Structure 1
Amino acid sequence: MYDIRHLWITTAVNNGLEPSTIADMAGTSVKMILANYYEHHSAERSRAVEIMPQLNSNVVKPVVKKEKGLASK
Structure 2
Amino acid sequence: MGKQLSSDAFAENDLTALRGQRVHATPIKRVLDANTRQVVGWLYRWNTGHLSVMWKGERCENFVYE
The bucket for the TM-score relative to the shorter chain is: under 0.3
Which structure carries more helix by proportion?
Answer: 1
- Higher Cα Rg, which structure: 1
Asked which structure has the greater RCO (Cα within 8 Å, sep 6+), the reply is 2
TM-score by length of 1: 0.25
